[in-house]
Structure 1
């Protein structure tokens, strides 16, 4: 390194000024130091007799500007230094430093060719001035190696690194930091070239030297730890990677200001690790923050910005947000093409990821075209043995396997396997993963497939031990391999009718469930847990298939009990966690202060997410930065809770034992027939549980059911007797309704007891009101009220999961036991249509159920939030908006300017952190029961939001209903509740009354079937005022009856 300190002959006041700036740099006060150096260079230039000092200061200005990520200024100062040096000091060593400074700028801008040109000038000058063995020559050779590495010419890069290392080693000895720098760069080069063992060897040598003096080499150690973390990540050792990368981020945050590019690099690498672990939502948190930093500090179109956009596209692809994924991936590709041209590994990365996008949307020809384009570039730039070449072969194999072209798939998998065995070794999870893919291609020959798979798992025994914290497997890889093994065993069992295989398959499934639990407990983002359930829902379906076969062969009911418990695992995971969180706190003694801290964090995060959802793009970045900080605080707090209160954490997030004995007692006590449905990709199953039996039956394919439900719902909700006057609507409707009845109800109806049904829906069945199915064929031109609706025979209730019947969500106390009825006035609002009957509705129901009415200007969101926690019944007669892509942002509308956003809209997301311990919430608004369906969780809707808040049951709607019908149904419903009826029976009677009292047109299910009761169906405690009235009326009736009896007694003797 050329010294950049001012010489002693400079005027004393300038020397002091320079020393002040250097002191500021020592404490990383770079902006302040920069201002002093700018002032200093102007004063020195004015003296006109110290050219070397001017050049030194210009180089300093370029370096400090890079430190504060002001790259345009860094380029300007570096060019000024080169120009000044070439003019006034053409043979001075300082000119070589100016060339070096210019090269560093271009390297940081991912522009290696001009960087290499500048470094070559520096090298020639230093070689001439100092000779070939001088360490200053080694510095430039090192930088030239970095450029070749950036150009993917790893052979030339390693040559330059080796030359630099040897000069430094001979000059300084084997423990000098510059030798460590060479080891670090050689490790990075081997890493990129795909030889992880060589990379880790060189990283370890660098680390050993840096750790010898942490105070002096702390920043260098951070860099080598980061690279080691990424290398472990690429090898599949994600736990070791996360520990190193977390340490790197924490250290960088101490060393640099929060918007420094090095912090963005740490965030990017952690995001990639979370992505590989399957925690896609958490990965997005890190990628968004890193992108914000890079877009602030780098030029538009910089390759590092493109990389982050590509990573985010991959996350959205996993989340099945295909439009957003394609937009980001295409943008990243164009940026890379503009910067690098067509033959670059980053461009190949884009083609490969676009190939995956086309594969996911079933455009396989386009997928193959993009994969092959990536493969050609990788081979040209990296050689044919690089891990990225292997990954691309694997993706091509997957693409052909999905299409059922097993022979072509095997060819590609074998090519991938050959490379991965060489780079990773034979006993590696990624190698086992490829063998699993090859084995999947052998389902027609399961014996061969099992031999291939099992013979290559012998060195990886930890697959069978998910609880082993040192397992080499990530949960995602383990689950993929176990599912492949299960399919092969199932194929063998079906071919040979070998019942012994059933238990072997069961053991594989048990291991898979443990791996799934391990993954779910490791994820901190709820959305990532749901995505994991969606990705491996097929495992649950395979278990049900195994149980179905097991029961058919053995007749042992334990198979059905197991299947029922597994079906429950696939329902309302996050809602069950919400309940478990409250119950865990009561058992595990977690301090109130910690719970309040977490609650406040969740409230802050929810508020920020709402603001981001509604904000214009120009404001989203600043809000994303705030959200990242709060998310980091949340992750740290959860880590603290896990470490300090492990029992509480296990109760909160661990899988709960399924309590069938208690459920049977509950069902017998309530006189229920529970029908729980499981809709998988391949099959639909139904379970019936009542006082006499637990039964299971396969009903057909999931695709077939979805199609039938969609057609039926469209016919039901598009009812228009005027427009369709020429059609026999009852016959058309009846055919579809009877078909669904025969599929969903009839197969188990002979086992049902009594007249109460409780439906646990799954998949498309969340959109179906069962009570409007018909149990008999419908003849031509039948009257609507004469149809044999299920409503005539059964009361129908719904629940998200039977588990919550035994541990309901209600966990907060309230101070009152009356109704709060809300009816905003939308007549003055332009965005929402007036509700003509909503005020009449709340006035009518309040005559039956006393309480408070908030109508017109009083029906504000603020008043509702303040008062609602104190009421037994909440009745909301208002507009609602269902969001079928982001269910958490479905909302209820309150009084006020509807363009005002948060102040007039109550989002489902807000309800998750509210306390509303109502016995019943009536959402007399349109589409409050529908929203975004998420596999493994259910319908993310306003109705579910109220369950999160602690409400026991809801009455909600599945489609838009006119408020006249709603008002009539609600008045009747409350009347039956006052008589002590259960909620399902009260709604059944209200609907029957409606049909009986309505015109022939309005007897159509469109007008009455929308409302469905969800949750606990038990009767509601009648308000005291109504009890008092009931006793008075009973007393008067008794007196009257007594008088009549006395009258007759007196009459008789006469």
Structure 2
């Protein structure tokens, strides 16, 4: 094995090897013993004070000691985060840094956002310079270099200003791994953090609470895990729900989560950080006790112990984002402290129910009878958007949300007013809840990017000509340019949380909204039923309004339970209808008291 790595990374690799060596079978220890050779220890040289090097020394001296196992458990917890998605961690850290800067000084938040946008622009320019240098006609090369120099100078100037006015920025913008001790301090007494890392041979699972830590290796490789998750997802089609295999859902729960019941079983809020194939796992449809009855029997489905009805669930963009979301500000002693509530003059901004020409739809995101949206021959054609199905329940959904939070109907942009221009012109940095109720399309369905469908220009009132900035499709890259200050963003559309295009991380839409400034998002994991989606989102808001739920995570749990147990429509007990949504980001936010 080549150990030409940094001492930190080499130490983490060694610590993980020692963890396997100390905790698993003699056969595994024999296979890995050669990896614990003195060479990587020479990198540490026994002088470094890092946890990794402490673990290496302690475990070579006493591999079975409690001290070794505790050190290695903690070091492996951090090492596992390095195997996660760096992009998601970085985006969450950027949001935290920008938010904290705005809390410290409102004008400073704009400077931080400008610097972050310029860093993205610099990456694009560097890529363009490489392409121009390799092309047959490098005439643009000098222009690109001048632009890059200008961007670099502005970044440096902003960096100096930010560092002077807000010294904590560098710490917050760094998505370094979260330690076990940090995680325990950031968790409430009634919360459990699950970190799941998939490898070709096994899934490593950690659970951390304020009181305890546990971990184990689950012998299910990434290939088998991917197949098991695909089997669970296959019948989750709201148009034609198939037989959902509750036994398979129970078996997966038994393997991955049941062993942690002594530590986490009584915690009401379960927080997950996953990566790789685990991102496609709809956690709420796991079954927490042996299922009874037939899988096609709606009464049996209603009586099933779904994980979503046992605990409030939320998903982190990355493990380190727990720090970003909950410890953006520290006091003089270095302790986490809550930021003062940011005043917002508007409770809601809602966009949806776009004017479209297809037949009325009962689900969001797919083609309808007269739609060509899924035909690759029409990719990019304006008519592909125009002939999508209208969504009658989407307007009612947004009106119900507005009524529930006490917002005027003027806070909504519906039908021909639901345009890209209306989104860009809205003061989204002065709104507590932002809601979209429309079609969500995956990459390749109509455009190469994922996005949200709004009213195409020719169907607006008055009609307009399509342009680069208003073509009826709010793409992920355009969303990332918006500036939010929302506590909760509701994406009541199809596949807003999982698009299959980013198998190692969050969907491009979710990433875009997080970067824009959303701290907590309600996203969908598959095609959603129009009426069920409206009931879930408005039901969650109502639970907050009635004080039956103090947080979005609990509110979503109660809304799903209400759908499952609704006697008026037995079909709603099928998880294809009640389980499409997941909460990404901070699950325990409290919205304004005067809602």
Residue number among 562, 566, 573 corresponding to 2:89 in the alignment: 573
Larger Rg: 1
1:987 equivalent in alignment to 2:499: no
Instruction: Give the 3-state SS of the residue equivalent to 2:218 in structure 1.
Output: strand
Match of 1:303 in 2: none
1:908 equivalent in alignment to 2:419: no
User: Contact 1:814/1:917 (CA < 8 Å) preserved in 2?
Assistant: no
Residue number among 799, 820, 823 corresponding to 2:316 in the alignment: 799
Residue number among 423, 442, 450 corresponding to 1:890 in the alignment: 450
Q: Cα–Cα, structure 1 residues 550 and 881, in superposed 2: closer, same or farther, change >3 Å? A: farther
1:712 equivalent in alignment to 2:232: yes
User: RMSD of aligned C-alpha atoms?
Assistant: 4.9
Match of 2:391 in 1: 835
User: Contact 1:887/1:932 (CA < 8 Å) preserved in 2?
Assistant: no
Instruction: Give the 3-state SS of the residue equivalent to 1:668 in structure 2.
Output: coil
Q: Cα–Cα, structure 1 residues 857 and 735, in superposed 2: closer, same or farther, change >3 Å? A: same
1:775 shift after superposition? 2.2
Residue number among 900, 912, 927 corresponding to 2:495 in the alignment: 927
User: Contact 1:835/1:963 (CA < 8 Å) preserved in 2?
Assistant: yes
User: Contact 1:482/1:508 (CA < 8 Å) preserved in 2?
Assistant: no
User: Contact 1:824/1:860 (CA < 8 Å) preserved in 2?
Assistant: no
Residue number among 329, 347, 350 corresponding to 1:818 in the alignment: 347
Alpha-carbon displacement from aligned partner over 1:332-373 (angstroms, at most 9, x marks no partner): xxxxxxxxxxxxxxxxxxxxxxxxxxxxxxxxxxxxxxxxxx
Query: Structure 1: how far apart are the matches of 2:17 and 2:572?
Result: 51
Residue number among 563, 567, 572 corresponding to 1:1002 in the alignment: 572
Match of 1:582 in 2: 98
Query: Structure 2: how far apart are the matches of 1:855 and 1:874?
Result: 14
Match of 1:554 in 2: 65
User: Contact 1:886/1:932 (CA < 8 Å) preserved in 2?
Assistant: no
| Number of corresponding residues | 506
Worse-matched range after superposition: 498-507 or 1001-1010: 498-507
Query: Structure 1: how far apart are the matches of 2:259 and 2:5?
Result: 39
Match of 2:267 in 1: 754
Worse-matched range after superposition: 871-880 or 568-577: 568-577
Structure number with higher helix proportion: 1
1:976 equivalent in alignment to 2:543: yes
Residue number among 860, 872, 875 corresponding to 2:432 in the alignment: 872
Instruction: Give the 3-state SS of the residue equivalent to 1:750 in structure 2.
Output: helix
Query: Structure 2: how far apart are the matches of 1:839 and 1:756?
Result: 32
Q: Cα–Cα, structure 1 residues 551 and 880, in superposed 2: closer, same or farther, change >3 Å? A: farther
Query: Structure 2: how far apart are the matches of 1:466 and 1:652?
Result: 23
Q: Cα–Cα, structure 1 residues 902 and 996, in superposed 2: closer, same or farther, change >3 Å? A: same
Match of 2:281 in 1: 768
User: Contact 1:930/1:958 (CA < 8 Å) preserved in 2?
Assistant: yes
Query: Structure 2: how far apart are the matches of 1:861 and 1:814?
Result: 26
Instruction: Give the 3-state SS of the residue equivalent to 1:688 in structure 2.
Output: strand
1:260-339 alignment to 2 at 5 Å?
none
Instruction: Give the 3-state SS of the residue equivalent to 1:951 in structure 2.
Output: coil
Alpha-carbon displacement from aligned partner over 1:670-710 (angstroms, at most 9, x marks no partner): x1111111112333111111132111111122222122112
User: Contact 1:551/1:559 (CA < 8 Å) preserved in 2?
Assistant: no
Query: Structure 2: how far apart are the matches of 1:780 and 1:561?
Result: 43
Show structure 1 runs of 5+ residues with no match: 1-435, 438-452, 454-462, 468-477, 515-539, 610-620, 1027-1054
Q: Cα–Cα, structure 1 residues 789 and 797, in superposed 2: closer, same or farther, change >3 Å? A: same
1:716-727 alignment to 2 at 5 Å?
716-717=236-237, 720=240
Instruction: Give the 3-state SS of the residue equivalent to 1:988 in structure 2.
Output: helix
Show structure 2 runs of 5+ residues with no match: 127-137, 329-338, 358-384, 459-465
1:740-751 alignment to 2 at 5 Å?
740-751=252-263
Alpha-carbon displacement from aligned partner over 1:375-417 (angstroms, at most 9, x marks no partner): xxxxxxxxxxxxxxxxxxxxxxxxxxxxxxxxxxxxxxxxxxx
1:324-403 alignment to 2 at 5 Å?
none
Query: Structure 2: how far apart are the matches of 1:862 and 1:580?
Result: 28
Structure number with higher strand proportion: 2
Query: Structure 2: how far apart are the matches of 1:884 and 1:778?
Result: 38
Alpha-carbon displacement from aligned partner over 1:967-1000 (angstroms, at most 9, x marks no partner): 1112211110113311111111111110111533
Query: Structure 2: how far apart are the matches of 1:720 and 1:677?
Result: 31
Instruction: Give the 3-state SS of the residue equivalent to 2:392 in structure 1.
Output: coil
Residue number among 661, 672, 681 corresponding to 2:200 in the alignment: 681
1:736 equivalent in alignment to 2:248: yes
Query: Structure 2: how far apart are the matches of 1:697 and 1:544?
Result: 18
Query: Structure 1: how far apart are the matches of 2:71 and 2:420?
Result: 50
1:585 shift after superposition? 6.5
Query: Structure 1: how far apart are the matches of 2:435 and 2:402?
Result: 10
Query: Structure 2: how far apart are the matches of 1:1007 and 1:673?
Result: 27
Alpha-carbon displacement from aligned partner over 1:26-82 (angstroms, at most 9, x marks no partner): xxxxxxxxxxxxxxxxxxxxxxxxxxxxxxxxxxxxxxxxxxxxxxxxxxxxxxxxx
User: Contact 1:885/1:931 (CA < 8 Å) preserved in 2?
Assistant: no
Instruction: Give the 3-state SS of the residue equivalent to 1:564 in structure 2.
Output: helix
